[in-house]
Structure 1
Amino acid sequence: MLISVMQDPVIEGLESEESISLLELLTNGGYMMIPILLLWMVAIYIFVERTRTLSAAAKTPESFKDQIRSMVIAGDISGALMLCSKTDTPVARMIEKGISRIGNPLKNIEVSIENVGKLEIYRLEKNLNLLATISGAAPMIGFLGTVTGMIQAFIAIAQEEGAVSPKLLSSGIYEAMITTAAGLFVGILAYLGYNYLVSKVGKVIHTMESNVIDFIDLLQEPKKQ
């Protein structure tokens, strides 16, 4: 009973020294944590915004292709254009451009659709390069923060008179390493997010190409008959 009473203050003291909140830990990282935090916020915004945009771009109604086919075969060009204008997807905008060029040589129609497709791909890939930049820049900024933190730690050690306290040495080093850990965390997640979005863009582009091929084949059908 006496031993437990004597050990309680020691245990409580150790717990109070060892328990550090996440906010305190990030604050100890120094001013280099500010750009890392900003990059983290930008990366989250880009990922969420692009995910929503790409998900909407991939949702072309199942009946859209069949309706366009029926209208073009029936010669209802105005109805087909109206259907395309009401469907807010890259596929619909490309098909709309092709329908508006019906009557021109097939090569001209293909070029017009291809030009619209390039614009749509540019919109789909918007800000992806910035996300890739963040995945590389965040770890570098974190490493820079570690280097500057280590310099400050060694300056403090050099100015210390007498024997250097192990606590002073360890605290300076761990505070310097926080920025590297934070930078790697942001960089890794940004890199994973970038690759995920690139794969989604690839799927949308594949859908666009497939629908355009079907549309060009539809325009060639009367010539085969």
Structure 2
Amino acid sequence: MQSPSLLETLLSAGWLIVPIGIASVVMLLCVIERTVALRRRRVVPKRFIHCVLKQIEEGAVDRADALELCEENSSHIARVFEAGLRRWGRSAVEVEQAVLDEGERAAAELRRYLRVISGVGNICPLLGLLGTVWGMREAFDAIAGDAAMGKPELLAEGIGKALMSTAAGLGVAIPAMIAYLHLTGRVDTLVGQIDRHGQELVNLISAEAIEERGSSRPRKAKRAA
């Protein structure tokens, strides 16, 4: 006797295998989208950050030039820098607040769809368990009928099909939770880098930083003389 294929086995688990299958497709699409979107060069490109901060520190660019550099870049850190640059010359508190506000918006965008992945990981085991309970009830109803009296193999077959629903739910939930933890860790790392580089910008363009650099240059020139 030919053993049933995996698809036939899954379909025999009952109608609840359909929402589990749909959830698995949604989870896979979200994971692929987030994996692409959370690449470091799309969020915090090192070359761009070094270019902007270095040129500001050396006085090679002014506010307008720095804003133009940020507008030409589509990364998240560019938007954070742009928000801070629009407060160029203001107090450190005001510049930092602008950076923090835009940083929070960037963090929220980076966390997009992560709740969907987490939801799939939490709901699929429950759907699988519901499918098992439903299948067990049908199996016991069948064995209780007159036609099934003295045929315990029918009960075993029914229980096996019912348990397949739980296995399918766990088979989707486990990869979903692994992906969620991985992507959450990546987002936390990227948000930390955005915060760190944003603070570096604050230390360069705030009124206090500009005043400090201006007062230190004459001393350096005097020493050189």
| TM-score bucket (shorter structure) | 0.7 to 0.9
Mapping 1:95-174, distance limit 5 Å: 95-161=81-147, 163-174=149-160
d(CA) in 1 for partners of 2:163 and 2:93? 60
Alignment match of 1:37 (pick from 4, 21, 24): 21
In the alignment, is the contact (CA less than 8 A) between 1:58 and 1:204 conserved in 2?
yes
**2:4 equivalent among 7, 16, 20:** 20
2:45 corresponds to 1:60? yes
Take 2:144 and 2:174, find their aligned partners in 1: how far apart are those partners? Answer: 36
SS in 1 for 2:150: coil
Query: What SS does the aligned partner of 1:168 have?
Result: helix
Letter in 2 for 1:32: L
Is 1:71–1:79's contact at 8 Å kept on the other side of the alignment?
no
Secondary structure in structure 2 of the residue aligned to 1:102: coil
1:46 and 2:30 matched: yes
Question: Contact 2:96 / 2:199 at 8 angstroms: preserved in 1?
Answer: no
1:89 deviates by 1.3
Q: What is the percentage of aligned positions where both structures have the same residue?
A: 29
For residues 114 and 53 of structure 2, the distance between their equivalents in structure 1, rounded to whole angstroms, comes to 32
Partner residue in 2 for 1:69 = 54
Say what the alpha-carbon RMSD is for the aligned residues: 1.7
* Structure 1, unaligned runs of 5 or more: 1-12
Task: Assess if the C-alpha contact under 8 Å between 2:44 and 2:76 holds in 1.
Answer: no
> Which residue of 2 is the match for residue 10 of structure 1?
none
Q: Shift in Å at residue 84 of structure 1?
A: 0.6
Structure 2: give runs of 5+ residues left out of the alignment.
217-225
TM-score (norm 2): 0.87
Question: TM-score when scaled to structure 1?
Answer: 0.87
